[in-house]
Amino acid sequence: MTKWLLAAGVLMPLYSAQATQDPEAVYNRVCGACHSGQLPMAPARGDQDAWTPRLAKGMGTLVQHVTQGFKAMPPRGLCMDCSAEDYQAIILWMSESKPGP
């Protein structure tokens, strides 16, 4: 019985993963330095022309790009305390998209 409870305790966070940080607060603290129009290659918040082709690559790819770094994007987007769920929430907030099913 103890092993089952331990397994459930370990796996439960994986099934209820949610962003732990407010996307707007993280954007203001870290992302806005590049994504507020300062760097022309960094898509600005709400710029549908810039975000549409990126979103078409899929959320998994976008989160991977943030986590590992991609082109001028530094690894983890310089947010060392962000989780994958945080990155997803920030991407959705910045692109002004709604989460998919």
pLDDT at position 101: 54
Whole-angstrom Cα distance, residue 24 to residue 8?
32
Whole-angstrom Cα distance, residue 47 to residue 83?
24
Please say whether the beta carbons of 50 and 43 come within 8 A.
yes
The structure tokens 């993280």 sit at 26
pLDDT at position 2: 57
pLDDT in tens, the chain (101 residues): 555 544 444 444 444 456 789 999 999 999 999 999 889 899 999 999 999 999 999 999 999 999 999 999 999 999 999 999 999 999 999 999 876 65
pLDDT at position 100: 60
Q: What is the pTM of this model?
A: 0.77
Give the angle 57-27-11 at the CA atoms, nearest 5°: 65
* The token pair that represents 31 in the structure block: 């992302």
* The token pair that represents 52 in the structure block: 């549409």
pLDDT at position 37: 87
* The token pair that represents 62 in the structure block: 């976008």
pLDDT at position 19: 72
Give the angle 17-94-49 at the CA atoms, nearest 5°: 130
